[in-house]
């Protein structure tokens, strides 16, 4: 292959016109991307661009999507090692390309060895200023918000990174439609109170105040995942919370035993098939507590609790909890919005919402958020 002799190497810290998306530590040498949808964005006027990545994992490899001028043009697995990936080449050197290199896969709680870092880029042109977007939106959720099953055939059932997408994702779609910056805080199987299998440690609120607190291990500690998040540096206009699906699933899953304490945990069903009132109340209390925490860190955001892409059976509890919080605290910038349920036509891989379900949810959520922003 003929080398492009005009390529110059730039550390990320040397690029003034660089936009980092997603919660990070603020370090650029290198930049660690933790969450779904985390990315680097460049306005690149030139013909050829490469990015230097450093990747590691024990089980679950990261994937990235390359988005050029708002269109996803490539997607690939990143294998272990430190190496260069070509983003584009042979393009018109006189046109400016808006480029995003997006982490497609969620932070992997189940793999302490999984990491993705960006060291540098090689480029033969100029980096131009990036236009500021109109709003900031944070999406908080579970596998749905991680885009699990949003790519791949309906028959796929393997729980692997290949079937996660930050692009075929209602969060990304909603943000794009509103010209908004966005962040995603999500983990498959987790809830607001408990995970799908009744593990009380599988809840998002417990780790919300850290950069990426749901990760584990000394490696992630060294990367800064457990540091306090700098909320002042990025204040959203809208916070969308899509939690409750796994809390609902816990009612029909076996009890979970804590091997450290010996305690058993279970969200219970009554003999007549209804939900145990005490356990529903615990779920509702968890919602209220999380809303208090969200308001503490996001002073001016409108908080929208959304639910419904995989059923609506505990929707009444969500309404009760949000209503109780609003009355108790006097917070009027909170609301509930029901998302469209996934159907046989819109289902994706792993019995999760597919891209059509995400598109439908994004369309309805975008309309709702537009109403809020207009008032």
Are residues 120 and 153 part of one domain?
no
Whether the predicted pLDDT of 168 surpasses 90 = yes
Does the structure show a pLDDT above 80 at 360? yes
Q: What is the pLDDT of residue 53?
A: 99
Percent of the chain with pLDDT over 90: 98
User: Distance between CA atoms of 253 and 279, rounded to whole angstroms?
Assistant: 14
How many C-beta atoms lie closer than 10 Å to residue 231's C-beta? 15
* Same-domain status, 174 and 277: yes
Confidence of residue 2 (pLDDT cuts 50, 70, 90): confident
Q: Please state, as a whole number, how many other Cβ atoms lie within 10 Å of the Cβ of residue 252.
A: 10
- Are 97 and 141 contained in the same domain? no
- The distance from CA 91 to its chain's CA centroid, rounded to whole angstroms, is 31
Q: End of a domain among 79, 97, 128?
A: 128
Which among 237, 188, 230, 224 is positioned nearest to 350, based on CA atoms?
188
Q: For position 73, what pLDDT does the model report?
A: 98
pLDDT surpassing 80 at residue 104: yes
Shared domain check, 146 and 118: no
Q: What is the pLDDT of residue 135?
A: 98
Whether the per-residue pLDDT at 1 is higher than 80: the answer is no
Q: Residue 3: what pLDDT?
A: 85
pLDDT, residue 220, reads 98
CATH number of domain containing 79: 2.60.120.260
- Asked if 199 and 281 sit in the same domain, the reply is yes
For residue 286, report the phi and psi dihedrals to the nearest 5 degrees: -65, -40
Same domain, 204 and 319: yes
pLDDT for 13 equals 97
Residue 1 lies in a domain: no
Q: HSE of 213 in the Cβ direction (CA atoms, 13 Å)?
A: 13
Instruction: Identify whether residues 101 and 142 lie together within a single domain.
Output: no
Which of these, 183, 173, 148, lies nearest to 162 by C-alpha position? 148
Assess whether pLDDT exceeds 90 at residue 223: yes
Q: How far is CA 13 from CA 30, 51, 119, 137, in A?
A: 9, 14, 9, 26
Sign of CA dihedral 350, 344, 239, 31: positive
Residue 2 within a domain: no
| Structural domains of the chain, count | 2
Burial degree of 341 (CB within 10 A; 0-12, 13-18, 19+): middle
Overall average pLDDT of the 270-284 stretch: 97
Tally DSSP H helices, then E strands, for the chain: 6, 18
**Cβ(211)–Cβ(23) below 8 Å:** yes
Does 3 map to a domain? no
Domain termination site, one of 128, 161, 185: 128
Provide the β-strand partners of residue 336: 305
316 is in which domain, residue-wise?
135-374
Q: How far apart are CA 352 and CA 38, in angstroms?
A: 22
Q: Is 151 found in the same domain as 85? A: no
Q: Do 84 and 35 reside in the same domain of the chain?
A: yes
Three-class SS state of 215: coil
Average pLDDT over residues 163-175: 99
The predicted pLDDT at position 4 comes to 87
Give start and end residues of each alpha helix (H) in the chain.
Answer: 170-177, 218-222, 245-250, 277-297, 315-329, 355-374
At 249-258, the pLDDT tens digits run: 999 999 999 9
Res. 338: pLDDT tops 90: yes
Q: What is the overall mean pLDDT for the chain?
A: 98
> Which of 128, 162, 187 is the last residue in one of the domains?
128
Residues 290, 358 within the same domain: yes
b (16+ CB within 10 A) / e for 117-155: bbbbbbbbbebeeeeeeeebbbbbbbbbbbbbbbbbeee
Residues 80 and 147 in one domain: no
pLDDT surpassing 80 at residue 45: yes
Residues 120-151 have pLDDT tens digits of 999 999 999 999 999 999 999 999 999 999 99
Do 62 and 150 belong to one domain? no
């Amino acid at each position: 292959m003929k080398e492009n002799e005009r390529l110059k190497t730039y550390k990320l810290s040397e690029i003034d016109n660089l936009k980092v998306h997603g919660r990070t530590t603020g370090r650029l040498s290198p930049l660690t991307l933790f969450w779904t949808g985390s990315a680097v964005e460049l306005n690149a006027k030139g013909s050829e661009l490469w990015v230097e990545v450093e990747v590691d994992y024990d089980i679950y490899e990261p994937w990235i999507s390359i988005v050029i001028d708002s269109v996803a043009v490539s997607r690939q697995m990143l294998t272990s090692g430190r190496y260069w990936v070509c983003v584009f080449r042979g393009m018109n050197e006189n046109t400016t390309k808006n480029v995003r290199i997006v982490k497609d896969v969620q932070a992997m709680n189940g793999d302490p060895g999984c990491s993705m870092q960006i060291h540098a880029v090689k480029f033969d042109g100029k980096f131009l200023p990036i236009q500021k977007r109109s709003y900031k939106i944070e999406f908080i959720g579970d596998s749905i918000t991680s885009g699990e099953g949003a790519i791949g055939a309906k028959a796929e059932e393997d729980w692997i990174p290949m079937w996660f997408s930050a692009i075929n994702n209602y969060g990304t779609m909603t943000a794009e439609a509103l010209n908004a910056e966005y962040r995603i805080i999500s983990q498959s199987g987790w809830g607001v109170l408990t995970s799908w299998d009744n593990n009380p440690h599988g809840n998002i609120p417990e780790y919300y105040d850290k950069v990426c607190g749901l990760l584990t291990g000394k490696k992630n500690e060294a990367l800064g995942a457990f540091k306090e998040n700098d909320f002042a540096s990025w204040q959203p206009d809208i916070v969308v919370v899509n939690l409750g699906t796994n809390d609902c699933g816990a009612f029909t899953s076996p009890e979970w035993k804590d091997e450290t304490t010996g305690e058993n945990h279970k969200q219970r069903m009554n003999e007549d098939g209804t939900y145990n009132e005490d356990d529903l109340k615990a779920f509702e209390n968890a919602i209220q507590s999380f809303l208090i925490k969200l308001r503490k860190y996001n002073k001016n955001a409108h908080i929208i609790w959304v639910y419904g892409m995989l059923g609506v059976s505990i929707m009444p509890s969500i309404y009760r909890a949000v209503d109780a919080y609003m009355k108790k605290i006097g917070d009027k910038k909170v609301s509930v919005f029901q998302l469209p349920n996934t159907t046989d036509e819109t289902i994706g891989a792993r019995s999760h919402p597919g891209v059509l379900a995400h598109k439908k949810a994004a369309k309805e959520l975008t309309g709702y958020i537009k109403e809020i922003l207009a008032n």
